[in-house]
Amino acid sequence: MSIIKSSKKQDQLLLDGYCYRRAKSSETTWRCSKNNCAGRVRFDNIKYVSITDHNHAPNPEQTIANEFKSKISNSATISHDPPRRIIHEVLLSIDKNDGTAVPTYSSSQRTIERKRKKNDLPLPSPKSLSEIQIPDELKLTNGGQRFLLYDNGDVDHRMVILSSDDDLDCLSNSDHWHCDGTFKMSPQLFYQLYTLHGFVCGRALPLVYCFISGKSEPLYGEMFDNILKHISQRPTTITIDFEKAVENVVKLKLPMTTVSYCFFHFKQSLWRQVQGLGLQDLFVNDHQVRRYLKNFACLTLVPESFVIGEFERLQTEAPDSINEFVDYYEDVYIGRTIRNNRRRAPRFTIPMWNCFARFKLKKIFKWKLTNTDLPEHIAVKIREQIRHSFNDWAKHTSIIFQETGANDNADLNFVVTDQSHKRNDTLDGKLKYTIELVSDNSRFEMIKPWMNEYNLRFITTHQIGHFLGLNHCNDTSSIMFPYYQNIQPKHFLTENVTTKYGKSIPAFESKKVLKAAAEVVPTKTNKTSDKLIKSRKENGRYTNSFNPKFKFPSPALAIKWKMSTGVNTQLPYSKKELDKFLPIIRHNNSEELFRTTSGIRFIWIGHATCYIQMNNFRFLLDPIFSKRCGITSLIGPKCFRPPALSVNDLPGNLDAILISHNHFDHLDFRSVLDLNKRYGARLTWFCGLGLRKWFLKMGIRNVIELDWWQKYHFAKKEINIAFCPAQHWSRRTAFDINQSLWGGYAVWNTQHKFYYAGDTGYTHNISIFQQIGKQYGPFDLSAIPIGAYEPRWMMEAQHVSPDEAVQIHMDVQSKQSIGVHWGTFALANEYFMEPPFKLSQAVKNNLLNSSSFIVLKHVAQIYNVPTTTTFSEETPIPELGVETPQPEQLRVELNRINDWNFNIFRIEAISGERPLTAITYRIFQERDLIRTFSIEPHKLLSYLFALEDSYQQVPYHNKLHGADVCQSMHVLLNSSGIKVREKTKTFCFYYFLSNNKIKGRVQRIRDPGGDIRSSSARCPPSRDLAILYNDESVLENHHLAIAFKLLQADERSIFSNLSAEQMETLRKRVVDMVLATDMAKHKTLLADFQNLVAAKKMSGNDYLSLESYDDRILVLKNMIHCADLSNMTKPLDTYSKWIDRLMVEFWKQGDAERDLGLDISPMCVRSPTTKDKHQIGFINGFVHPLWETWGSLVYPDANTILETLAQNREWHEASLAALTSSTTDNSSSHDDKQN
């Protein structure tokens, strides 16, 4: 129902396919618009009620057309948008099934033009620059960001610059810029549109648009001044068109940037001269003239030192018909010859337009590995690490390294011998092999600690640097630092090597180097409103230079505090009383506590000690497990609440420990010793500048020191760690005050960001936290201190209050925050339970969500931040649906998606652990469903990511199984034994992919109860899910509910273009197909399927014609059932991996059943013969009859599948026979011994 305006501007009611106009005698009564019809309706304040019936049928198509015309007419009278945009926007509101009722494009265009002509809606036509007014809505982007960067308002020389903050950030991060002006596209009254392009993901994109009213140096200077003030980093190189004014300005404003002319504009200027001299006909008809003109253009590709010589040769040989062109070329680009064979300076100097230096020329070096009494498997490992080292240098030099045979000549020869090394300054004290790098004139000795293979790579990379001409340096972030550490090459090559190889080594970019190790790179800053705060030393001590009011907490202040302030902590004396406020409960299930999850897992252990797991990267913050925090175990504040976990409770695969500063409650001597004793060199420690020497005294060498804003890239885990500024101080003795740097940490990967503030006061004069938020945020999770803040006159400068903690939470743009640094030690004077209370008040006062900043319990409470990647219309869509460091390998594997023996495990490894998204997105592309059904790609990926993240991390029924079912269904749908009408086939495609997209991934999604791991598990009546779904297909129903719940969010509403009727039909099909996978319904489903196949055989057809809905849905149900049970039909190497995962899950299920007091299911009993015995029974009783029936339906397509199934069954039978025989022999041997 809708009310529109007619062409005569009268109200018209469109209702149920009829068109009404208002009755003359009533405001609430409407009459049919047909004159000979007495149809009437009346509005009774709630709905329209029919009074008199119509004498004709409804015409829904006409009402749709009238409504469409009304909408485009209204838009035409209020906007200046072009007709195509108006028509497109209105079409989006029309159901696609009603498309035939919409007027044609040409008719709609004429309607818009007539309406505008009639209403006389003139376009703005300013007569002067001063009359140009930019509406407020055009000063912002669609996302609400600033778009109008600069408008000088000058009536004579108006200049307008447009760019968003995101585009400026891209320009800041681009090492190369390209600038160009256009006159044809310039708006009225402006002289030109000048654009600045940056390189984003390897593509040049326009990022800044400048409308200027001339082309003079002052105007260009004004333009660059207003752009550069918003750019945090200057480009390395910039190309411009052939305009001297721009060249002069760029060289003045960007003195450290290499300026060159554009190759395209160089060729364009030559062609314009050819046209100006009337040489076009000769160029087309005379091949000799054409060849020489092209040769002059190619001088830009000749080495700069050869340009003049080659020009003189061409000048001598060129035909006389192009002499004018040669003279022009010499005057403008080469320079006229004057006395003493010297040349005048040309208008455009040779280095500016010559492009030879922009091309990479590579030199080839050969290397080989010579083994002396070396086992082959050792040689393979050593060769692999050496190859990695050469690849690291090859990426950042103009050199190609090639491995040669043992008998061939090589520039570099690695000689490996098996002998003990005599040096004592080893990395881990366990050396076995000596490796020497030998070249023509030098011999570099290297050692290989066999306990750590990665060290060989670092040492080899370092020694190759020596071979290339690099000496040791004092930069700890360089591979040429004299002490081996987990870093990457960063320095430039020395001058002689640069000359020899033609290219220097730039600073390495993160994520591109040392994939198996870690690297240090200087952070590339984003655009910030303030200059980034840098660490500074005064008289050998670090200072809070950004806050001149900061007062160091001297002993005198501490005495004043203790003497003038009474004790207000009110700690209970009895443990029983304290347990009421802060109970301590130990975790018994460490496997659940530390299991790997996608997202962030946060566990508060106590005080500032926290365990964080970010995907597969695990680290601790400021660990303290001692009873006191002090210089000894007898001196210092006592811990009134013990840590929830001990050092031995921590997982064995801990990667790193982050130390914010050296105070005893953050750097505990005994805890460090215990951690180092357990983990040793496997653990990487991070700290601020000046603190590494303390660790070295402790015998800990794997320590990375960082300055504020310095970033460390942990490449083997694809993690970045940056040290962030804070307002605090450092001290452990009377003699080391502020000799080490303090701070917090930002930790992030491609999916998540975490922030730890460390100990800090709030900087009111300049917000370092806003800088942190702009630099590294927004953060998914933050740990912010909320305790030890009273009295404020003493603590304000060094510890934030809960109110200030909330301010930090907002400054760093944290989505979720957790309060730490409270409830463990009585370090200050506030009531011991006051911090969480004041925190909740501060959250409420700032109108924040109460769950956005919380505290956790002293029970090692787990706080999870799941991966919830959401794509928007502005988000770049990955070509393969997922971001991966191995796109080419993933593309090759996905090209085999139609193969039944598809390597699903390989997809999991190279898709960034998103196999389900990668496979589904590829299937949608392969079947052209995104275009056919108008699915918005960003919504599709948002839904797939959310659905994939909803899976439980169980061994078998996980997202990989869902991806495997999807791919198997995709192959089965291509079976030639099924024939349907083309329209119905499209119907099946669509519903399979939509259904299977839900079904194939919906299986075994997270069960809120957490105990039941598969649909085979029996659900006791007391279980919430069993009660909710009345014990009927419990998990299948639960999975359906989750899948459809995810679809309700706007950003994941992939079926938004479906009508209500279509959505209802879709939901019915989905429910039918998902419930069909319940094994309880297997026999009934199979019997119906067998009857259908029997009917096909009786008909004598080679295919089954699926004309009825019942037949189609029955085949689809069994098809997805086959896909769900397809593991047994895959090659043995694939099937064996699946069955091993399944048995682990079943055994865990058996443990859960035992804990629930149930009889253990036969397939869940931990026995050596369980796997083979029950798989044989499952194949014979369920899998083989189903696949045999399917094979009859699609004969002969499934013959190979059935053969593989038989082979896998025989493998189980042989394995069972061997196990049974072994058990019998052991039993006989035991009986003999008894006798």
Per-position DSSP letters for 1029-1082, written without gaps between them: TTTSSHHHHHHHHHHHHHHTSGGG-TTTTS-HHHHHHHHHHHHHHHHTT-GGGH
User: How would you label 1089-1104 residue by residue, b for 16+ Cβ within 10 Å and e otherwise?
Assistant: bbebbeebeeeeeebb
Residue type, 1187: W
Q: How far apart are CA 1079 and CA 1034, in angstroms?
A: 12
Whether the CB-CB separation of 37 and 56 falls below 8 Å is answered with yes
Written as six digits, the tokens of 23 are 């009755």
Q: Cα–Cα distances in Å, from 13 out to 6, 42, 63, 1090? A: 10, 11, 9, 55
Half-sphere exposure of 492 (CA within 13 A, CB side): 8
78 three-class SS: helix
**Is there a contact between 509 and 707 (Cβ–Cβ < 8 Å)?**
no
Cα atoms in the 13 Å half-sphere on the side-chain side of 333? 25
| Lookup result for tokens 């603190």 | 691
Q: Which amino acid is at 538?
A: E
Instruction: Give catalytic status of residue 421 as yes or no.
Output: no
CA atoms within 13 A on the CB side of 1207: 14
Which of 957, 970, 1039, 1121 is catalytic? The answer is: 957
Strands (E), 337-475: 363-372, 399-403, 412-418, 431-438, 443-449
CB 460 within 8 A of CB 386: yes
Q: Which residue has the tokens 């497109």?
A: 88
Residues 6+ apart with CB under 8 A from 665: 607, 608, 622, 624, 629, 637, 825, 827
Q: H or E segment at 579?
A: helix 575-581
**1124 known member of a binding site:** yes
- Beta carbons of 759 and 799 less than 8 angstroms apart: yes
Q: How far apart are CA 98 and CA 91, in angstroms?
A: 10
Separation of alpha carbons 333 and 346, rounded Å: 5
Q: Which residue has the tokens 């009494």?
A: 373
**CA–CA distance, 1174 with 1195 (Å, rounded to integer):** 29
* Amino acid letter, residue 225: D
Q: Give me 1167's structure tokens.
A: 């026995």
- Of 1008, 1030, 995, the closest CA to residue 1116 belongs to 995
The neighbour count for residue 8, using CB atoms within 10 Å, is 7
Tell me: cis bond preceding 1196? Omega within 30 of 0 counts: yes
Quote the CA–CA distance of 1007 and 950 in Å, as a whole number. Answer: 10
Contacts for 413 with CB less than 8 Å, ≥ 6 apart: 367, 368, 369, 370, 437, 438, 439
Kindly list the distances between the CA atom of residue 322 and the CA atoms of 264, 272, 339, in Å, as whole numbers in the listed order.
Answer: 22, 14, 25
Question: Do 977 and 1103 meet the contact criterion of CB atoms below 8 Å apart?
Answer: yes
Whether the Cβ atoms of residue 1031 and residue 1021 lie closer than 8 Å to each other: yes
Residue type, 686: F
Q: Does 265 belong to an annotated binding site?
A: no
State the first-to-last Cα distance of the chain, in angstroms, to the nearest integer. Answer: 95
Binding residues for Zn(2+): 961, 1124
- Give the catalytic positions in this structure: 957
Binding residues: 961, 1124
